[in-house]
Amino acid sequence: MFPAGDAAENADSWACFCADCANALTPSNINSELRLLTVAMWIKINLMRCAACAVVACAAPAATPGEEPKMSPDSTDTPPPLPHVAAKRRAPPKVPAVTLGDTRYEQAVLPRSEAGGVQRTGYVAAYKGTSDERLWRIRVYELKIDPALEGDVQDVYFATMDASPDGRELLIANELGEHYAVDVRTQGVRRVD
């Protein structure tokens, strides 16, 4: 017996696949779907594309002896390209630096070489005035990174960063909707619920 949960997932996959093949999805739709679907789901969709291509190839009329095979009566020698779908994350939000006194605070993204397979995002750095002299950098939140998945789809950036009314803390919200407060004097971090 086919489980009902699998049937719903299969129907959803086919609906997305068909809409994508018909070029009915806008980049916004695709980004929304990518956020909702897992990597495994996209693998299934790409496997279905391969299966669909095989079905089309098998269903093409056979060439008679001495005749060149054709994909359709009006086709050319090259088959039409399949639409390209790649699991890409949307661009990170633009979060302006916050200046308190003579210190500038910015979201810090570690280079892949420095991150060493751990998280690259979720850091805030303090700089002296308008210079590039870094005073300190701390991790605001921890991310669990799966080494089997592509790194950039696991990055979680700041959505907002503001100074508290008293100027003692940075109030940070990330793309997941989590909120944190960073004490700029002690570099202590606390989650704000």
pLDDT tens profile 146-190: 888 887 788 999 999 999 999 999 999 999 999 999 999 999 999
| pLDDT tens-place string over residues 72-81 | 555 555 655 6
- pTM above 0.75? no
Under a CB-based contact definition with an 8 Å cutoff, are residues 24 and 89 in contact?
Answer: no
Q: What is the pLDDT of residues 97-149, one digit of tens each?
A: 999 999 999 999 998 788 777 899 999 999 999 999 999 999 999 999 888 88
